[in-house]
């Protein structure tokens, strides 16, 4: 997957990863893929999850980032101090209270339990509340209308104040995960009617993993305290997405429907710019969602 095969840097990155101990908080869709790649690269990997599954080749411990005692118990079990803490835990389906517990209190607990160890925090591009179709960079205003997104901004500030890194991820897709692909394949897709079709900003899971690996290997002092957008190169509108998917699969174009006013996520319309992260040498293996349909051999079959 990803970095080694595409860039031919396996030996060099393996050399650096073998010197690293990375503690991953959250062993879900992104965290488990990251743990596997780090382990394959020779790093010492410890992952924390609320329920510790079995069968991993690396250490997977049961723990709760929102519980200081839980983190202290985990620290006592570690053979060495981590070089990086990757906070990619999920809030589950909880609302603002769950967000505060996992992202605000969780970040504070990590910083207290592991003072001086930088945190790489996976935030979200939902912190940008723009609805005018503009391009947003890391310096653009973050004034989301959802409390959960405002909590993420607060967590980012905590992370960066202690020399950590905040990654604002676009919507993650990849093998086994794509709401747009799932809906076009099961016939439930619908295009939001109206004069404006909102931009969809996405990132393939493997590109997100590669970005984190890249930052782990990047000089700490140069990336410390920074925020980076993490998205692919070709945002498309919701209408364009479904039209191109319909063409790709030779199925009828989905019908138009009024926008869902009760949608879980805020209605935003912006293009997320990834130029800052690219200046560090990262670039996406899957620069576009539509292109990934053929470039990722697992993507389509995994959604059928």
**In terms of Cα–Cα distance, which of 63, 165, 170, 161 is closest to 106?**
63
Provide the whole-model pTM.
0.93
* Lookup result for tokens 């996406």: 284
Contact 227, 166 (CB under 8 A): yes
When the pLDDT of each residue in the chain is averaged and rounded to a whole number, the result is 92
176 conformational bin, left if phi > 0, alpha if psi -120 to 50, beta if neither: left
Contact 48, 102 (CB under 8 A): no
In this prediction, residue 9 has a pLDDT band, given cuts at 50, 70 and 90, of very low
In this prediction, residue 7 has a pLDDT band, given cuts at 50, 70 and 90, of very low
CA distance 9 to 17: 12
In the prediction, which pLDDT does 263 show?
A: 62
R_g of the chain, CA atoms, integer Å: 19
Element (H, E) at 217: helix 205-217
Query: Residue 70 is encoded by which pair of tokens?
Result: 């839980």
Query: From the CB of residue 96, how many other CB atoms can be counted at a distance below 10 Å?
Result: 13
Element (H, E) at 42: none
Select 3-174+202-232+273-286's CATH number: 3.50.50.60, 3.30.1490.20, 3.40.50.720, 2.30.30.90: 3.40.50.720
CA distance 108 to 297: 40
Q: What are the pLDDT digits (tens) for 17-35?
A: 778 999 999 999 999 999 9
Q: What are the pLDDT digits (tens) for 212-224?
A: 999 999 999 999 9
In the predicted model, is pLDDT for residue 10 greater than 60?
Answer: no
CA distance 245 to 183: 10
Query: From the CB of residue 40, how many other CB atoms can be counted at a distance below 10 Å?
Result: 16
Q: What are the pLDDT digits (tens) for 137-150?
A: 999 999 999 999 99
Kindly report the three-state secondary structure assignment for every residue of 139-188: CCCCCCCCHHHHHHHHHHHHHHHCCCEEEEECEEEECCECHHHHHHHHCC
Domain ranges of the chain: 3-174+202-232+273-286
| SS3 call for 203 | strand
Element (H, E) at 102: none
CA distance 68 to 111: 10
Instruction: Identify any residues that bridge with 49 across adjacent strands, giving them in sequence order.
Output: 62
């Amino acid at each position: 997957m990803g970095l080694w095969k595409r860039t031919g840097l396996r030996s060099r990155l393996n050399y650096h990863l073998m010197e690293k101990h990375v503690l991953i908080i959250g062993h879900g869709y992104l965290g488990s893929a990251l743990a596997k790649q780090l382990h394959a690269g020779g790093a010492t990997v410890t992952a924390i999850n609320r329920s510790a599954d079995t069968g991993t080749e690396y250490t997977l411990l049961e723990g709760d980032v929102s519980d200081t005692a839980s983190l202290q118990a985990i620290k006592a079990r570690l053979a060495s101090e981590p070089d990086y803490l990757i906070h990619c835990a999920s809030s589950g389906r909880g609302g603002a209270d769950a967000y505060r517990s996992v992202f605000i209190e969780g970040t504070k607990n990590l910083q207290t339990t592991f003072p001086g160890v930088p945190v790489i925090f996976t935030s979200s591009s939902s912190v940008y509340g723009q609805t005018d179709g503009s391009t947003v960079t890391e310096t653009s205003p973050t004034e989301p209308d959802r409390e959960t997104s405002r909590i993420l901004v607060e967590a980012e500030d905590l992370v960066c104040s202690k020399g950590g890194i905040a990654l604002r991820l676009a919507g993650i897709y990849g093998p086994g995960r794509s709401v747009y692909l799932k809906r076009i394949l099961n016939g439930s897709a619908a295009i939001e009617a109206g004069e404006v079709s909102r931009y969809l900003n996405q990132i393939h899971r493997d590109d997100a993993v590669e970005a984190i690996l890249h930052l782990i290997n990047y000089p700490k002092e140069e990336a410390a305290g920074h925020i980076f957008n993490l998205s692919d190169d070709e945002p498309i509108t919701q209408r364009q997405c479904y039209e191109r998917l319909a063409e790709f699969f030779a199925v009828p174009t989905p019908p138009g429907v009024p926008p869902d006013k009760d949608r879980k996520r805020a209605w935003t319309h912006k293009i997320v710019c990834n130029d800052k992260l690219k200046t560090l040498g990262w670039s996406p293996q899957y620069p576009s969602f539509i292109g990934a349909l053929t470039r990722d051999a697992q993507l389509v079959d995994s959604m059928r």
